[in-house]
Amino acid sequence: MTDNLRYNLPYAHPGQVIGLLGGSFDPAHEGHVHLTREALKRFGLDQVWWLVTPGNPLKSQGPAPMVQRLAHARQKMLHPRVKVTDIEAKTGTRYTAETLAALKKLYPNVRFVWLMGADNLTDFHHWDRWQWIMDNVPIGVIARPGDRVAARMSPAASIYRTSRLRGRDARALAQMPAPCWCLVNVPMVNVSSTQIRADGKW
């Protein structure tokens, strides 16, 4: 990684805890905003960075142009401790494991927590190098309506059942060595990017 790249990335103080929320954000919506605000509170994070992906490897159809998605996300997510980024476009990484490995090299004195909705935990075992992710970064899972049971019964949850942190101890997640994951139940905004696109609002 070059020095020029480092200057174009978000700043974090040594010792800070940064939550990472990745996705196409096609488009960003109130559900993303709500999940982010809850993650900041529940997991004791100093910042959350949205990683707006150039394209989701698990989706066959490409998203809206990057510039459009970034601009919309920055209008939607207004919070002093949340940064909307194009880190994956800058680092040239496509898969989450690659991105995390790059960020850990770029920010050796920062602690990262990977954030996801419970629906992602259900399918997590399909992600590229998903066990490497589990073994290297604490994971904060926020349950959305109807996703809790499936998430708890998922292959990832089963294989890493002894690494689960109780929800009431969620604020300790960032200080725990990986593998460690925590699922918290919160009232969620029941909206999805897929539905917004289907309704012709994007």
Query: Residue 199: what pLDDT?
Result: 54
Residue 45, classified by CB atoms within 10 Å of its CB into exposed (0-12), middle (13-18) or buried (19+), is: buried
Choose among 25, 21, 12, 72: nearest CA to 48. Answer: 21
Instruction: Give percent of the chain with pLDDT exceeding 70.
Output: 84
Q: Which residues of the chain have pLDDT under 50?
A: 1-2, 197, 202
Query: Residue 150: what pLDDT?
Result: 87
Query: Residue 1: what pLDDT?
Result: 46
Query: Residue 202: what pLDDT?
Result: 42
Place of tokens 């020029």: 4
Instruction: Enumerate domains of the chain plus CATH numbers.
Output: 3-198 (3.40.50.620)
Place of tokens 């999940």: 35
pTM for this one? 0.88
What are the start-end ranges of the E strands in the chain?
A: 17-23, 47-52, 82-85, 111-117, 139-143, 164-165, 181-185
Query: Residue 124: what pLDDT?
Result: 97
Query: Residue 148: what pLDDT?
Result: 78
